[in-house]
Amino acid sequence: MIKSFIPCKPLKGVIYALMTIMLFVSPCVFAQTTVSKDIQKVVIPSDFPDPSVIRVGNTYYATCSASEWGPVFALAKSTDMVNWDVVTYAFPNRPKWSTANYWAPELYHDGKKFFIYYTARIDGGPLCVGVATADQAEGPWTDHGPVVCQTAGSIDAACVEDDKGQKFLIWKEDGNSVGKPTPIWGQKLSKSGITPIGEKFELFRNDTPWERNLVEGAFIMKKGEYFYCFYAGAGCCGVGCDYAIGVARSKTIEGKWEKYAANPILAGNDVWKCPGHGTVVTDTKGNDLFMYHAYSTESGVYVGRQALISQIEWTSEGWPVIKKGAELITRKENTALSFKDDFSKLASSWRWPVEHQPVYKAANGLLNLTALKETEANKVGAVLAQSSLSFNYSAISAVKVTPGVASGLSIFGDVNNAIGLSVDNGNLVLWKVQRNKRTIVTQTKAPAARLLQLKVTVKQGSKLQYAWSTDGRSWTNIGGVLEGTYLPPWDRGVRIALVAKGTGTGYFDWIRIDSI
């Protein structure tokens, strides 16, 4: 367990005590935490969907879906598959050819170059598979644009080499989006690993009851005489999900592929729900580890799909099995989840809605967030956000009162769905945006102060109580408990956001988030 000391700054003559906290630094929120040696526990206790992991020497690199959050595709590294540090983003700005849906980045290293095969929506068109390359995992990354764009959509790409060194691109045709089956396709790649060549071929499709309307998230590895394709089936996301993991094998990548009769090899249990979309990595001791995402049955959609690891074992018939699913981290560990930024230097974990990239900087110990005017497409304003780390937590921020700018603290799903408390033209305004409609819940005259502290306490992921204070000791609730069940997008958890709406710049002195 790693601990850090971060001092709060003086506020109205009060010196806040130094606090010992656990530091979390990832934009997908990669956590530094302690797990047992069997490493069958959550390693990234926050929204980390569609994880991809590779090992190069003694170092592991991981990334995850960005969905609608920028920067796009965080790259993190670890030496133990437990403690992760963000080193860069593949795309500080979204690729110019794309507009949204930044899903399923798959890492690949051919011994010389690093690759990310990823999904994005082409401007004015369908979902496509794109690819980016780098000489080092830390970048810089060069985007090569879309390489496969089928009418129904092309997603969840990965790369694999056969025994002769021929690279293949593997991807899913998104037939379920138009009420059709979902073939997993393969196609040879040029030596560069960028350009598909020859004719595509089908590996398999959804044709067994547990897979329901789709198979996706294919990852292929070689073990002995077989290539093994790990894949996900059924519904990935949201409260009604039923995702699970299956496997198929073949002696050649072109097939014929045989699905395991005992599929799915990992399904939900009382602790983790809807496991899916993972990759296999062999550690330095020769263990085959499966990194995948799942929802905690406790925190559910509010925290999002968290990253877990389970060890793969192999039957005498050569099939992979996961005898024990991932376990919940202990309550002691879970309640230690915290985040703090005093804006002397911005944490790397700040994110923003990819279609509304804000202008911001840390200066003179303050976060300077340039406000955005309310528009039909954005009723919230400028947003900088942190992932929630549990479903019971509090968030407090010190906000500078600034004329012309509604600066505040929000529990944020997306620009169409958010709840917040802002200091706005001499008033404390409790507001909500639901389905892109903004309403004022209540408001009261703000006290005369240069800085105000705004606080939200969240219970069970969706019960929100806002309050304000001038000194951080005496708190006044504003409004009653608000219901936030509508906040989580279908594929993401909720986030804690600092917001600035209007004209000018919003200023924030510090923020602290603690599990309770």
Token match 């926050």: residue?
Answer: 46
Backbone angles phi, psi at 405, to 5 degrees: -125, 130
User: 151 CB contacts (<8 Å, ≥6 apart)?
Assistant: 126
User: Is-contact 61 508, C-beta < 8 A?
Assistant: no
Is residue 3 predicted with pLDDT exceeding 70?
Answer: no
Ordered DSSP codes for 382-411: EEEEEE-SSSSEEEEEEEE--TTEEEEEEE
Ordered DSSP codes for 407-429: EEEEEEEETTEEEEEEEETTEEE
Strand 142-148 to strand 127-134: parallel, antiparallel, or no bridges (unpaired)? antiparallel
Give the residue among 119, 116, 120 at the shortest CA–CA distance from 131.
Answer: 116
Q: Using CA atoms, how far apart are residues 19 and 71, in angstroms rounded to an integer? A: 30
Pick from 208-212, 242-246, 337-341: least confident = 337-341
At residue 38, the pLDDT reads: 37
At residue 164, the pLDDT reads: 96
Q: Using CA atoms, how far apart are residues 104 and 219, in angstroms rounded to an integer? A: 11
At residue 515, the pLDDT reads: 92
326 — pLDDT class (breaks 50, 70, 90): low
Average pLDDT of the segment spanning 101-107: 98
331 — pLDDT class (breaks 50, 70, 90): very low
Q: What average pLDDT does the chain have?
A: 90
Spatial strand order in the sheet of 127-134:
98-109, 114-122, 127-134, 142-148
Cis omega before residue 45 (within 30°)?
no
Share of the chain above pLDDT 70, in %: 89
Strand 338-341 to strand 69-70: parallel, antiparallel, or no bridges (unpaired)? unpaired
For residue range 432-466, what is the model confidence (pLDDT) as tens digits? 999 999 999 999 999 999 999 999 999 999 999 99
Ordered DSSP codes for 340-355: EE-SSS--TT-BEETT
Q: Using CA atoms, how far apart are residues 258 and 203, in angstroms rounded to an integer? A: 9
- Using alpha carbons only, what angle is made at residue 339 by residues 336 and 342, rounded to the nearest 5 degrees? 140
Is residue 43 predicted with pLDDT exceeding 80?
Answer: no
Pull the structure tokens for residue 447: 């006290």
- Give the distance from CA 69 to its chain's centroid: 8
39 vs 258, residue with greater confidence: 258
At residue 367, the pLDDT reads: 98
For residue range 337-352, what is the model confidence (pLDDT) as tens digits? 789 999 999 998 999 9
**Domains by residue range for the chain, with CATH:** 25-334 (2.115.10.20), 340-515 (2.60.120.200)
Backbone angles phi, psi at 444, to 5 degrees: -145, 155
Is residue 44 predicted with pLDDT exceeding 90?
Answer: no
For residue range 347-385, what is the model confidence (pLDDT) as tens digits? 989 999 999 999 999 999 999 999 999 999 999 999 999
Pull the structure tokens for residue 234: 């059924």
Backbone angles phi, psi at 301, to 5 degrees: -70, -15
88 — pLDDT class (breaks 50, 70, 90): confident
- A 10 A CB-CB count for 202 gives 13
User: Is-contact 431 440, C-beta < 8 A?
Assistant: yes
What is the separation, in whole angstroms, between the first and last Cα of the chain? 19
